Structure 1
Amino acid sequence: MRRIAALGLESPAIPSLVTCLTHLNLSGSYFQGEIPSQISYLSKLASLDLSFNPQLKWKEDTWKRLLQNATDLRELVLDYTDMSSVSINIFNLSSSLVTLGLRGTWPRGNLTNDIFCLPKFQHLYLSDNEYLQSQLPQVNCRNSSLSILDLSNSRFQGSIPPSLSNLTHLTYLDLSFNSLNGSIPSSLLTLPRLTFLNLNGNHLSGQIPNVFPQSNRFEKLHLSGNYLGGELPSTISNLQHLIMLDLSENEFSGQIPSSLFGLTQLSYVRCSHNKLQGPLPNRIAGFSNLITLLLDDNLLNGTIPSWCLSLPSLKDLRLSGNKFIGLISANISNSLENLDLSYNKLQGNIPATFFSLANLTELDLSSNNLSGSVHFPFFSKLQNLQYLYLSQNELTLNFESNVNNYSFSYLKSLDLSFMGLTEFPKLSGKVPNLSFLDLSNNKIHGRVPNWLHEMRSLYLLDLSHNRLTQSLNQFSRNHQLKVLYLSFNSLSGDISSSICNASSIRILQVSHNKLTGIIPQCLANSSSLEVLDLQLNKLHGTLPTFSNNCGLRTLDLYGNQLEGSLPESLSNCTHMEDLDLGNNQLEDTFPHWLQSLPNLTVLVLRANKLYGPIASLKTKHGFPSLVVFDISSNNFSGPIPKSLIQNFEAMKDVVQDDGWQYISTSLTGRKIYTDSVTVTTKAITITMEKIRKDFVSIDLSKNRFEGEIPNVIGELHSLRGFNLSHNRFSGRIPQSLGNLTNLESLDLSSNMLTGNIPTELNNLNFLEVLNLSNNHLVGAIPQGEQFNTFSNDSYKGNSGLCGLPLTRKCSKDPEQHSLPSLTIKREQGFEFGWKPVAIGYGCGMVFGVGMGCCVLLKGKPLWLVRMVA
């Protein structure tokens, strides 16, 4: 690292040669420390570039002096230096300034109108400044010369001011990746010189104004990742200079205007992830220069017109996730490099012309209704093919060939899942660079061929949902393999420590098999293993000791026969997010030492032999990330510590997740490992094969907890499921439960609760399942809101309750509804069976059962979601 003092700026007598400098460029020179105040002596500077010196720091006084003295500055480029001590409000810039670059400098304060109105100012780059969390200023001047304005990724809020149209010289405007809302001002689209507009990644809504003038000069228009909707404007046909159009990830509907297909200069069109519908036109007048056409994930229907596949310059065509039907046209352009027609309803066989596409690198025809016989070696004619996806069709693949020397030299990813295969494909020596192979959901049996074990390039192998009966240990020869899926087969026998010879494995999923014996110690010693999923086998013995460099993110041993205590060495797994040891025979006290795991999101210890009280947690930050906490069907006792609930920080803030995101691990290719969990929610026990990140649940049911329900439960605002049933809780139902406005399921049945049902529970507008049965509650049942949806079963076994839906009417005398004289006897025992208890339910029961049925297979690709949905 160096200091600017090397130029002599800090010496007592600054050389006159230095003070006469007009151009100084020190960009990317690894300078550090504060900029010396003597830099202000360079009064003759016309151009100063100190960019890309991230450890070079400005002081506010130095900045002020420079601006006061360097009155001839025309170009000032300070990108990615440190201006966090400087307020943007004191930018008293020189009237001679033409270019100002302040990308990633992080100045403080609010952007003002003055900076736009300098008489000679033309270029302002102010992107990547997260401290500018303000609104865009109104532009009051009408004589601005500004032509380039980049304010992207700087957390600007509020609406786009229509006064930006006063910047009539603008050619380039980038407001992308901020938090702007409201509609797009129509005046912005009529700026006479504007050629580039980027509004990607904001919160804009409404329709695109239908105001594009015929004189417009737009070349690139980016509006993706907003909430724009309605039909696309018909005046889009006026954009005759348009080269690039990106409208993806919005809510546009209706048909694509035919005028769009007449734009002859377009080379890139992306309208993916919208609600566009209707057929594509059979004939078009433009698109002769089109290179990329992305219309995937819409509602487009009809047949795919032949022009769509035969455009002369087309390289990338993606029409997946629509409703196209019929045959695939044989008229196809040789320029194609990427072709994705997956997730439609296309029929017939693969056209023979596909096998002559010499430039094709990716072909995805998966999830259609294609049929007929395909001679698989024909694909080897596609000499540049890297990705081939044929899954979920009715094609019959013939792997036999009279030619011995054919090969797929560049093939990296091959998906033949859901193809009805009964044996392994004969690809020995044919796929030397294959890294991703999916043969799942077939009917394959027999031995795994040697060529699979010997492939050094193989990264991911999915053989799940087949009929394999061999031992897991045969895969110990796959030394380079990182991801191995073998779930839902009939693998049996012990897990030998030889499996650890496959030392590169990151994800090992062998759930739903017939494995026996103990878990090898070497698996717990691995630093590379991130996911170990052995749920629903017949493993026994004790848990191994986990090493200090444990790299596990997910450990799922649910539904085995494991016994003994919980090893405290699990606290060494500091990356752990999902720990599921449910439905075993573990016998120990509550593992309070797990509270130190900073990323632990899911903790399931249900249906074991755990016992004793849960001691108050001594740390203020225990379990900071936990959102699923299930210790039901054990033998825990005593009160619920207030400190335990207060530490559930991740349950306090409601996270809006409209993208249906899941707890998962991303992988190479199109695979994703999704964590699963078995829970009791909304009155039924279900296995959720995908855990939504906003699914927040606490289940303490079927234990021996006692005392009052802590009031601090009301602080867990993101709770969706809360189950305390079949315990010994006493006292009143806390009024604070009315704060849980996201709650969907509440089960307090079979306890010793007394008093009235709090009227605050009427605040729970999302409550679908309520069970307060078999307590000692008294008084009138609250009326209105969700309470009108619950049946008698929600309240049975409470002789002191009255009012609808019960037949017992409430007396006008409140004394008539007080707690009857009785002797409360402590219950002697509980049954810990797995049969769901039939409890009261409301209008949400259908939803609850539906959620239970809509389960997807763990380890399946995200693209499978669309098929099931």
Structure 2
Amino acid sequence: MGYLMLLVVRVVLCVYMFMMFHFACLSSSHLCHSQDSSALLHFKTQKYYYEYEYESEYEYECPHVYPKMSTWENGTDCCSWMGVTCHSVSGHVIGLDLSCGALVGNIHPNSTLFHLTHLQTLNLAFNFFNHSPLSSQFGRFVSLTHLNLSDCQFKGEIPSQISHLSKLQSLDLSFNYGLMWKETSWKRMLQNATALREIVLDETDMSSISLTPNPLSNWSFSFSLVTLSLGYTEIRGYLTSHILCLPNLYELKLDGNEDIQVHVPKLNCSTSLSFLDLSSCQSLGSQIPDSFSNLTQLTFLDLSDNGFNGSIPSLLSNLQHLTYLDLSFNAFTGSFPSFLSNLHHLVYLDLSLNTLSGKLPSSLFALTQLSSLDCSNNEIEGPLPDKVAFLNLTQLYLDGTIPEWALSLKSLRSLDLSNNRFRGHISEITSYSFEYLDLCNNELQGNFPESIFHLVNLTYLCLSSDNWSGIVHFPLFSKLQNLEYLHLSGCSSLLLKSETSVNHTFSNLWALQLLSSNITGWLEFSGKFPNLDYLKLYNNSLQEKVPEWIHGMDSLTYLNLSHNNFTLMDHFPWYRLQNLDLSFNSMADDISCFFCNATFLEIINLSHNKFTGTFPQCLANSSSPVDLDLQMNKLHGTLPDTFQDLTTLNLNGNQFEGLLPKSLSECSELVDLNLGNNQFEDTFPNWLQNLSKLEILVLRGNKLYGQIVNLKSENIFPSLIIFDISCNNFSGSLPKAYIQNFRAMKIVHDDVQSPLSYIEADWQVIHGTTEYDSSMVATIKRVSLPLTKIPRVFVIIDLSENKFEGEIPDDFGELHGLIGLNLSHNGLVGHIPHSLGNLTNLESLDLSSNMLSGDIPTELINLNFLEVLSLSQNQLVGPIPRGKQFDTFSNDSYEGNTGLCGFPLSIQCNNNVPLQQYPSSEAEDKFGFGWKPVAIGYACGVVLGIGLGFCVFSIGKPEWLVVLFGGKWTKRRSRGNRRRARTTLFQLLVVM
């Protein structure tokens, strides 16, 4: 009986287990909740996405972008779909990860995405949501613990409903450059989301937020905080001990916030902070705060680019756990700090861009973990540790030959000796661990060592010079199958053609630069570049049509074939090309439909060719081209009036006609507009005045006419620094309202204290070089001066050769940044304004061929940098001022003014007028020298003048002299003395 009962129990258990298994199978096969499945499928229909996988620009976050929603199919279980996570019991969707999902478009408030009210984690990072606003509907996800919308291109105010997410533990809205926090929304979020452990808001706008709100209770969430990352948010306030002493804070990033100050006199707490980034804050003071010595748990410390000076403080020796230390781009002086050798865990040390001197201490050799050392841009000498894996000694003015030990360190993986003065041959490389080798911009010569082709681990190789000899067989580089970047220049003979029938494949190469070399065998080259993204074949005298092997590169996004002799482009398969530079060739294609199959082109430079045809209508209709340079070609016809999003439009030197396209006023990002030297016939385009970013406006050499209306506005061309409307038929008075509102011209850019900057497009940077710069042909005193880059100190106004009348407004004297002013060949009357003496940066002043009267203002003597002066063909009277630059100008500057007298004219002034008018002693003190050096210079100048006169009459006008005094100026920057040097005759006289 007992046995029978046991058997029954077993049968019942088996039946029960079978039924449970059956129901489990049924429930698992239909796990997804039907409403959530429907919402996801509808969301899929609302989004646009690419149908293919491609490599992402976010290399570390998502190496590949893939349309995850393309795998979602109706009739299948949504819990099995890519990126979807469901609750194991209810079947509701609780997790959605569509990061790197190739999503494009807007997320509208009525999107079915917001029907997924059970979501706990949502990740939409690295998609493109079209600069649309961040919907308030995100506040419906009240169960969310993790929200990641990083780099989604949202913009506008962050909705206050974000504070409804009270369960949030992680919030990442970083790299949405247009997102802006209101103080009320920020405070409300801090009060409600008390469980937050991670806040990442880098490069959002927090300019209205203070880092140290009062009372501190507004930061009540902060006691659970582990990560606070607010880099480049423009947040302001003080970094205090209240933040540094948060009990669980591990990582703090405040880099790039210039209004952050440190107020930590003492640090009486046990801090857990391990990662601290305060780079590029600029307001931290001149010294590293002493209290930082108590941050003993730090493993990562970045204090670069803060202007710290003096010796590197010994307080850093207390930070014994440091593995990463960056003190670069400051003003530290003195010798290399020996106490750094006590930081035994250091792996990365960067002291570059300071003013340190002397030798590296031998105790540094004891840092056995150190694998990356950057001492570049200092005056530090060797010897060096023999176990370092990364060595950067660029721009140290090192000379001699490259030491053999640098090419034989067995552990060295990265060596950068670029931009020095190394000479001679490269010795054989005996270390095969190199992954990065940069020897560019030295004075090396001879042949490449054979051992280079044995460095099978190389991913980066730069070997530019001017004196490579022998034949360089390019196919040999295909042995380096890991190579991703290759830069060669200055080869006396670079043979592309293979000597065998083998087709060489460069499997991983993505960037190739072959510059200024004698390339041969390029038409017969048959190499394959399956992953090449960037190709630059600049200045190689290549001829005829673009070869087939270039046409076959469908992975290219950047192509530069400029400064060659190509005559034909033929039908190029544009595919993914984003940047095209064919400038300075001899191409004569008709470009009317040249780019109509170009989907992604954003930068197009076809300047200085012989292209024909009309302006491609498809370019004007497209929103893709941003920088367009077609200057100096043979294009004709009228321009379409459908322009959209341009940054640069340069059509100078063609044969365009008709009206100026008013659609340009809709291009809010326009920086450079050059329509000069065409046949446009229209009135002045005052509808461009509100383009707040426009820096260059050139309309010279057209048939423009009429008066320039003095509009009543305080926002007329606020950023303009080059204004050239010369050689037209404009009439009436000079545009006074414009002159008054040229705000950018009133700013003097100090290129002494800061590096010379150029007008450029913010685009792809390869090896530190911006790949598109604005260019123009500037005309100074009728001398054409081509500028391949336009410095921001190049501030000019040219209104010459028009029909302007009336007086010269005093307002010109407020444009302190001007270096060139040309009002010649008009009908201007009245006196030369004394206010022009305030333009102390002026280098060229041309007021010739007007009807100006009165005397020459003595205030003009103050123009120390004036090199070109023309006041000829006016009605000026009285003595010519004497002193400084005025003693350097010739008769040509004053001819045609019968009432002028004094040096350099042969007409002497009468006895009632002093022959020489020297500046007062006050002026001498202000400008640094008085009349005595001028007199000395003048005396020496007699000797020089006789010599130059003999030279001129013997051999004609020397070309160098014409160039020197015909309007061209130069600037020099020296390492020891960075004051601007001017090539003026006065300086030559004083030197003699």
Contact 2:698/2:722 (8 A) holds in 1: yes
CA distance in 2, matches of 1:318, 1:380: 22
Contact 1:156/1:178 (8 A) holds in 2: no
Work out whether 1:266 is the aligned partner of 2:370: yes
CA distance in 1, matches of 2:344, 2:444: 34
Query: CA shift at 1:566, angstroms?
Result: 2.5
Query: CA shift at 1:490, angstroms?
Result: 2.4
CA distance in 2, matches of 1:461, 1:76: 46
CA distance in 1, matches of 2:438, 2:544: 33
Q: Deviations over 1:287-335 (max 9, x none)?
A: 32x2211222331122222321232232222111111122223233222
Contact 1:629/1:697 (8 A) holds in 2: yes
Give 1:302's aligned residue: 400
Contact 2:301/2:324 (8 A) holds in 1: no
Give 1:164's aligned residue: 290
TM-score, with normalisation over the residues of structure 1?
0.76
Q: Deviations over 1:320-352 (max 9, x none)?
A: 111112222323322221211111222232222
Contact 1:356/1:382 (8 A) holds in 2: yes
Give 1:483's aligned residue: 579
Q: Helix, strand or coil: the match of 1:465?
A: coil
Contact 1:270/1:293 (8 A) holds in 2: yes
Contact 1:86/1:107 (8 A) holds in 2: no
CA distance in 1, matches of 2:605, 2:720: 23
Matches within 5 A, 1:350-365: 350-365=448-463
Q: Match of 2:278, as an amino acid? A: S
1:409 to 1:701, Cα distance in 2 relative to 1, 3 A: same
CA distance in 1, matches of 2:915, 2:291: 72
Query: CA shift at 1:663, angstroms?
Result: 2.3
Give 1:247's aligned residue: 351
Work out whether 1:711 is the aligned partner of 2:810: yes
Give 2:794's aligned residue: 695
2:278 to 123, 138, 152: 152
Q: Helix, strand or coil: the match of 1:511?
A: coil
Q: Helix, strand or coil: the match of 1:475?
A: coil
2:826 to 727, 736, 742: 727
Q: Match of 1:525, as an amino acid? A: N
1:602 to 662, 685, 696: 696
Contact 1:476/1:502 (8 A) holds in 2: no
CA distance in 2, matches of 1:578, 1:478: 26
2:642 to 525, 547, 553: 547
Contact 1:543/1:567 (8 A) holds in 2: no
1:168 to 1:191, Cα distance in 2 relative to 1, 3 A: farther
Matches within 5 A, 1:651-670: 651-657=745-751, 658-665=754-761, 666-667=763-764, 669=766
Query: CA shift at 1:698, angstroms?
Result: 0.7
Query: CA shift at 1:699, angstroms?
Result: 0.6
1:84 to 1:526, Cα distance in 2 relative to 1, 3 A: closer
Q: Helix, strand or coil: the match of 2:314?
A: helix
Give 2:868's aligned residue: 769
Give 1:835's aligned residue: none
Work out whether 1:752 is the aligned partner of 2:877: no
CA distance in 2, matches of 1:723, 1:305: 55
Q: Deviations over 1:458-504 (max 9, x none)?
A: 2233332333333x4x1344344333332333223533425423444
Q: Helix, strand or coil: the match of 1:494?
A: coil
Contact 1:277/1:299 (8 A) holds in 2: no
Give 2:478's aligned residue: 380
CA distance in 2, matches of 1:853, 1:607: 32
Q: Helix, strand or coil: the match of 1:221?
A: strand
Work out whether 1:583 is the aligned partner of 2:677: yes
Contact 1:440/1:466 (8 A) holds in 2: yes
CA distance in 2, matches of 1:598, 1:108: 25
CA distance in 2, matches of 1:64, 1:443: 64
Structure whose alpha-carbon radius of gyration is higher? 2
Query: CA shift at 1:189, angstroms?
Result: 2.0
CA distance in 1, matches of 2:819, 2:584: 31
Give 2:209's aligned residue: 84
Larger fraction in helix? 2
Query: CA shift at 1:424, angstroms?
Result: 2.4
Q: Match of 2:290, as an amino acid? A: L
1:678 to 1:265, Cα distance in 2 relative to 1, 3 A: same
1:741 to 1:434, Cα distance in 2 relative to 1, 3 A: same
1:769 to 1:107, Cα distance in 2 relative to 1, 3 A: closer
Task: Name the structure, 1 or 2, with higher relative contact order (CA <8 Å, separation 6+).
Answer: 1
1:130 to 1:442, Cα distance in 2 relative to 1, 3 A: closer
Matches within 5 A, 1:601-640: 601-640=695-734
1:299 to 1:722, Cα distance in 2 relative to 1, 3 A: same
1:381 to 1:147, Cα distance in 2 relative to 1, 3 A: same
Query: CA shift at 1:267, angstroms?
Result: 0.7
CA distance in 2, matches of 1:612, 1:586: 13
Give 1:680's aligned residue: 779
CA distance in 2, matches of 1:268, 1:800: 72
Q: Match of 2:440, as an amino acid? A: S
TM-score, with normalisation over the residues of structure 2?
0.67
Query: CA shift at 1:169, angstroms?
Result: 5.5
CA distance in 1, matches of 2:896, 2:877: 11
Q: Deviations over 1:74-119 (max 9, x none)?
A: x99777598937854644899x98989765398988538774998x
CA distance in 1, matches of 2:698, 2:163: 58
Give 2:517's aligned residue: 419
Query: CA shift at 1:536, angstroms?
Result: 2.0
Query: CA shift at 1:246, angstroms?
Result: 0.8
CA distance in 2, matches of 1:674, 1:109: 34
Q: Match of 2:656, as an amino acid? A: L
Contact 1:508/1:532 (8 A) holds in 2: yes
1:521 to 578, 595, 617: 617
Contact 2:209/2:236 (8 A) holds in 1: no
Contact 2:648/2:673 (8 A) holds in 1: yes
Contact 2:310/2:331 (8 A) holds in 1: no
Q: Helix, strand or coil: the match of 1:753?
A: strand
- Bigger mean CA offset, 47-56 vs 354-363: 47-56
Q: Helix, strand or coil: the match of 2:805?
A: strand
Total equivalences in the alignment: 769
Work out whether 1:534 is the aligned partner of 2:630: yes
Contact 2:440/2:465 (8 A) holds in 1: yes
Contact 1:561/1:585 (8 A) holds in 2: yes
Contact 2:562/2:585 (8 A) holds in 1: yes
Contact 2:495/2:521 (8 A) holds in 1: no
CA distance in 2, matches of 1:253, 1:791: 49
Query: CA shift at 1:525, angstroms?
Result: 2.8
Q: Helix, strand or coil: the match of 2:477?
A: helix
CA distance in 2, matches of 1:715, 1:765: 17
1:145 to 1:803, Cα distance in 2 relative to 1, 3 A: farther
Work out whether 1:849 is the aligned partner of 2:968: yes
Q: Match of 1:638, as an amino acid? A: G
Give 1:431's aligned residue: 529
Gaps of 5+ in 1: 8-23, 40-46, 197-217, 818-837, 855-869
Work out whether 1:460 is the aligned partner of 2:555: no
Query: CA shift at 1:716, angstroms?
Result: 2.3
Contact 2:474/2:494 (8 A) holds in 1: no
Contact 2:230/2:254 (8 A) holds in 1: yes
Contact 1:292/1:316 (8 A) holds in 2: yes
Q: Helix, strand or coil: the match of 1:366?
A: strand
Give 1:19's aligned residue: none
Work out whether 1:568 is the aligned partner of 2:662: yes
Q: Match of 2:238, as an amino acid? A: L
CA distance in 2, matches of 1:56, 1:599: 26
1:190 to 315, 329, 350: 315
Query: CA shift at 1:454, angstroms?
Result: 3.1
Q: Match of 2:674, as an amino acid? A: D
1:649 to 743, 753, 761: 743
CA distance in 2, matches of 1:239, 1:175: 13
- Bigger mean CA offset, 319-328 vs 494-503: 494-503
